[in-house]
A and B are shown apart, each in its own frame.
Chain A
Amino acid sequence: MKHACKHVARLTSDSFERQLSLLEQMQLKLHLAMCGLCRNYHQSIKTMEHVFVYIREHDLKKDDQLSNESKKSILYRLKKEKMKDAGMHKNH
């Protein structure tokens, strides 16, 4: 049954991506019951998922900011766009 580890690693990942078929669920369960390495792998992938859920919910880098230069150039573009609009309205 050792040859199945590679397959089981794939199933482990897929179980977070799609609904496994009944057969696949059986294969996974059976194999995990008797293979310690795959159990470790399965558990670590699960842990990893929790980490990313946590990260998703708590925005990561909280201290990054737009540079002043970027801000200035964006402001400039916005003002230009606003003026364009104002000009258009006058023509009507």
Chain B
Amino acid sequence: MLKKQVDPESWLQEHGDYLFRYALSRLHHEEIAADMVQETLLAAWRGHARFKGDSTLRTWLVGIMKHKIIDHIRKEIRNRKINHELENDPTSSSFAENGAWQHAPSAWVDNPESRCDDLQFRLVLQQCLEHLPKKQRQVFEMRELAGDDTSTICKACDITSTHLHVLMHRARLALQICLQKHWFGGSNSS
């Protein structure tokens, strides 16, 4: 009975841009993001008999897209063999040999929660993310932007949970340094 209403073209009109933004926020590449939308809608069309209607259509589509994105990331990892991009370790320069701080973390006076809608802050944050080594960034964004859980990330990236924790730690440290330098530290606009 749902059949009559199934119309993938209307999915594209109603949810295409949303899906595109979703993919773009994970993959940072417009062409690939558009491909993901196409893959998602095609898969949805082929599998629409399975749509039970107990979630909204958008939620269902996003669910499909999440799988497509993970598949894509897996393929990319296989192609580039970036699995051992571990050398890039900010902890080496942050701490002295005896393990004490070499860069001094400062207290962040500014309240960044109120800054989230500030375009300039977003820009700085985005740039700091872009400076992370590829693997760290990928894992960090799956975790912090997509909100994926440990097992999902480990499976997608083919890493152990310990490995994930190391990457998260390094990414946090690098971001802390970057944000402190470019936002919370020095140049306080008066």
A binding-site residues for B, Cβ under 8 Å:
2-7, 9-10, 12-14, 16-18, 37-38, 40-41, 43-45, 47-52, 54-56, 58-62, 64-67, 70-71, 73-75, 77-79, 81-82
Contact = CB atoms under 8 A, between A and B. Distances in A.
Interface residues of B, number: 54
A3 B100 contact: yes
- 3 A-B pairs with the lowest CB-CB distances in the bound complex, closest first: A3-B99, A13-B169, A70-B34
B145 interface: yes
Given A5-B99, A54-B116, A79-B9, A44 B108 contact: yes
Interface string B15-50: 011001110110000100010011001100110000
Contacts of A55: 116, 144-145
A5 B169 contact: no
Interface of B: 8-9, 12, 16-17, 20-22, 24-25, 30, 34, 37-38, 41-42, 45-46, 91, 94-95, 98-101, 104-108, 111-113, 115-117, 122, 125, 144-145, 147, 150, 161, 164-165, 168-169, 172-173, 175-176, 179-180, 184
Given A2-B99, A4-B99, A37-B105, A59 B21 contact: yes
